[in-house]
Chains A and B, each alone.
Chain A
Amino acid sequence: MGPSGTGKTTLLRLIARQLNPDRGRILIDGVDIAGLSQSGLYALRKRLGMLFQNGALLTDMSVFENVAFPLREHTRLGERLIRLVVLTKLHAVGLRGAAELMPSELSGGMARRVALARAIVMDPDILIYDEPFVGLDPISMGVIVRLIRRLNDTLGISSIVVSHDLKEIAAVSDKSFLVSDGAVVASGSPAELASNDSEMVRQFMHGLPDGPVAFHYEAPDYLRQLLGKDGA
């Protein structure tokens, strides 16, 4: 969790090595991913599933083909087996009936559920969610929250969820980290974070408009600027 622009998505992209770290190490199962070759990286990514903020569905393919895409790319499964796996995953997210729709025909919540089905189709060990609740109506949000928790428990995987939605994070997380200015400023269970004394944590958890994260963007003196004395 963390305020907007604090580096949450950057952190996820570092974990997935879509970005390379300037310094430091990122270990997944003890392996420093910065040192992986492209084939090593791709082998690792087959064990990762990632849900992008906007779903990132391939727009020239149907829902079915989107979910089948990783299977067609990485396995030699027959068409019947692919159909079985895809329908199973779509059923898990409640969209088996939408298999033939195109991404343009889906609502935001449905697109994210399809993307979730695609993310789990290769049975990953780790699922990464980038702002999965943004822009969703309460019903879709509730569905996604339940899916994240249920998939995590039934598939026995680890999930990393980046968000700034406190209630939803509290509902799905075992442990939360609060990130600010590119660093972890607090961690613990949602209840522990709520009782944290840090000014930064309190501002975030209680939604205070001013604090360590200032309300005003850095600007010249108000009066001087209004009266035009600094030439602005």
Chain B
Amino acid sequence: MSFLRELWRAQVEFVRTFGAMSLFFVQLLRYSPLTLLNRFGLVVAQIFNAGALSIVIIMVSGLFVGGVLGLQAFANLERFNAEEATGILAGFALVKEIGPVITALLFAGRAGTALTSEIGLMKATDQLSAMEMMAVNPMQRVFVPRFLGGIIAMPLLTAVFTMVGLLGAHLVAVELLGVDVGAYWQQLQQAMEPDDVYEGVTKSVVFGFVASLLAVWEGYNSVPTAEGVGRATTRTVVSTAIAVLILDFMITAYLL
């Protein structure tokens, strides 16, 4: 009986949280146009926080992920005397899959956690209540700029990751392993269609949307204590990672 009661309680809690999150999401959407119009400076500041401050980790990761892809592609294609297709394999993997997914996971770990803990601490130290008391809507001043900043930053970070990844694959395949530079880039250029890029862009936009929403929501929903903010920060990484991987599968299945 107690198991059933716990199960019921968990379901009620899930529905309640989902409902509250949906309302929060509606509020974010409601205030987004106004914030873009009246507080664009705040949005730009958050693009800088979420994007520019993540650029180093994105570039370093992109370089090494690209390098590994170059290595793996070369090693496996060489068996079939097809090593000149290394560029195609690395390029497709980066543009359509690995670029958007790894960028989103890194975003959750770097920018997402920063957003959640910042908002959680603002809540714990009464800064959000103080804004309310000064007749300033935290939705417009705090949440929406961070939400929009994340959405805009994600595709840009994905583009940087993918470009640096291609460069990493080039360095390994061409400079290190001796694949012909002309074949590497020409085959990639010929094989890649606009639809392939569209798939990567779609994913990065959707992931940006989800990662920003979860990060801001977890901060807003955090228990205003040191432990509560810590838990919320962990939840941001876990829930974003799971959501991104599930959505990745769904988008891929839909677009294929």
Q: Mark A residues whose CB is within 8 Å of B.
A: 16, 18, 38, 41-43, 45-46, 48, 50, 52-54, 56-59, 69-70, 73-74, 115, 118, 122
How far apart are the CA atoms of A46 and B134 in the complex, in Å?
Answer: 6
Choose from B121, B133, B136, B141 the contact partner of A18 (Cβ within 8 Å): B133
Shortest beta-carbon distance, A71 to chain B, in Å? Answer: 10
A interface, over-half SS: mixed
Q: Name the residue of chain B whose CB is nearest to the CB of A43.
A: B135
- Is B53 located at the chain interface by the 8 A CB criterion? no
Shortest beta-carbon distance, A206 to chain B, in Å? Answer: 32
- A50: which B residues are within 8 A, CB to CB? 130, 133
Within 8 A of A (CB), among B84-134: 121-122, 125-127, 129-134
- Structural contact, A16 and B133, CB atoms closer than 8 A: yes
Q: Name the residue of chain A whose CB is nearest to the CB of B129.
A: A18
- Structural contact, B129 and A46, CB atoms closer than 8 A: no
- Structural contact, A70 and B134, CB atoms closer than 8 A: yes
11 contacts between A and B (CB under 8 A): A41-B135, A42-B135, A53-B126, A54-B125, A57-B130, A58-B127, A58-B131, A70-B136, A73-B134, A73-B136, A74-B135
What's the tally of chain B residues with a CB closer than 8 Å to chain A? 15
Given A56-B125, A59-B127: A48 in contact with B133 (beta carbons within 8 A)? yes
Shortest beta-carbon distance, A16 to chain B, in Å? Answer: 6
How far apart are the CA atoms of A56 and B126 in the complex, in Å?
Answer: 5
- Structural contact, B135 and A52, CB atoms closer than 8 A: no
- Structural contact, B125 and A59, CB atoms closer than 8 A: yes
Given contacts A59-B121, A70-B135, A115-B130, 4 further A-B pairs with CB under 8 A are: A54-B126, A56-B126, A57-B127, A58-B131
Shortest beta-carbon distance, B20 to chain A, in Å? Answer: 16
- Structural contact, A45 and B126, CB atoms closer than 8 A: no
- B132: which A residues are within 8 A, CB to CB? 18, 45
Q: Name the residue of chain B whose CB is nearest to the CB of A70.
A: B134
- A54: which B residues are within 8 A, CB to CB? 125-126
How far apart are the CA atoms of A147 and B135 in the complex, in Å?
Answer: 24
- B135: which A residues are within 8 A, CB to CB? 41-43, 45-46, 70, 73-74
Shortest beta-carbon distance, B46 to chain A, in Å? Answer: 12
Shortest beta-carbon distance, A129 to chain B, in Å? Answer: 12
- Structural contact, A52 and B129, CB atoms closer than 8 A: yes
- Structural contact, A52 and B130, CB atoms closer than 8 A: yes
How far apart are the CA atoms of A50 and B134 in the complex, in Å?
Answer: 8
Choose from B130, B136, B137, B141 the contact partner of A56 (Cβ within 8 Å): B130
Shortest beta-carbon distance, B2 to chain A, in Å? Answer: 19
- A69: which B residues are within 8 A, CB to CB? 134, 136
- B131: which A residues are within 8 A, CB to CB? 58
How far apart are the CA atoms of A229 and B121 in the complex, in Å?
Answer: 45
How far apart are the CA atoms of A45 and B138 in the complex, in Å?
Answer: 14
Within 8 A of A (CB), among B22-60: none
How far apart are the CA atoms of A43 and B121 in the complex, in Å?
Answer: 27
Q: Name the residue of chain A whose CB is nearest to the CB of B126.
A: A56
